Structure formats: C-alpha cells, structure tokens
Structure 1
Amino acid sequence: MSMDTTQTQALIGMLFVLGLFALMILPAVVGIVRDRRIDRQLRQAETRPLPRRTAGLRAVPSDPAGPARSADPHHTARAA
C-alpha cells in the first residue's frame, strides 16, 4: 500500500500543524511545572521548623562561605 501525492501532502500538513501546536503549548507546560515546584517548596518551607537562636547569636547558614563579596565601596557614575 503506497500513499499518493495528496495523502503525502495531507500527512506533512498535519505533522506541521501538530509541531506548531506543540511549540505553542511547551512554554505553558514549562510554566505550570515551574509553578508547581515553587508551590511545593513553599509548602515545605511552611512546615519546616525555624532555626533556634541561642544567647543572641545568629543562626549559622547552611553555606558558611556564601557568595563572594567585594570590600570596595560601590560608586555610581554621575552625568557631566
């Protein structure tokens, strides 16, 4: 069984439309998945107990190194 020209063109057209549909739906699906992940993280943060403070000391962060910061003061450019 072979396809004639009309059937081949119809198949190509249908695949093209389905491909465009997938490209249009993909950003929405990615956004939904991202929102669900954020919601899950927020629910976990609500149920997680807060770190306890003792004798006025700050709670130690889980990453003591943290981001590197410069000791130089920041200057903004001024218009002439």
Structure 2
Amino acid sequence: MTLTISRTDLARRTRDAIEHAQRGETVFIESYGAEQAAIVDARDYRLLRAVAVFQSRPLAPATDPTATPQGLSEQ
C-alpha cells in the first residue's frame, strides 16, 4: 500500500509518515500535484540499492560468449 501526502502534511505528520514506511508502505511526498520524494523503510532502501548495484555490473566473462579468458596461459 502507498500513502501520498503533501509537503505541508509531511511537516505536520512526520511521525505518522515514518511509521507507515516502517510498516513496509511507501510514502510519496507531493508538491503542487507532482511527486517530489518517497519515504521507504531503511531495509527496503538497502535492498533496492543492492539490486541496482548488482544490475549495473558488467557481465562476467563466463556468461559473455564473446569474452576472451585472460590471466591464464597454456604454460
């Protein structure tokens, strides 16, 4: 579930917004009808960052058929 609140409401209901995020909900902060930011649980944030880092890594040579093995010789 998500909660959407205005920046003004966030100033008044910060504790409530944080409690929603700690329960696994995403809290979107709006200003003039446009999303400005999101509050998520710290564990969810760390998981999202880990997935983003993992997905941004280049393919390992074992999974890239065009890659040439390096560092080993026939000797």
TM-score by length of 1: 0.33
| TM-score, normalised by the number of residues in structure 2 | 0.34
User: Whose Rg is larger?
Assistant: 1
Q: Which has the higher helix share?
A: 1
More strand by percentage: 2
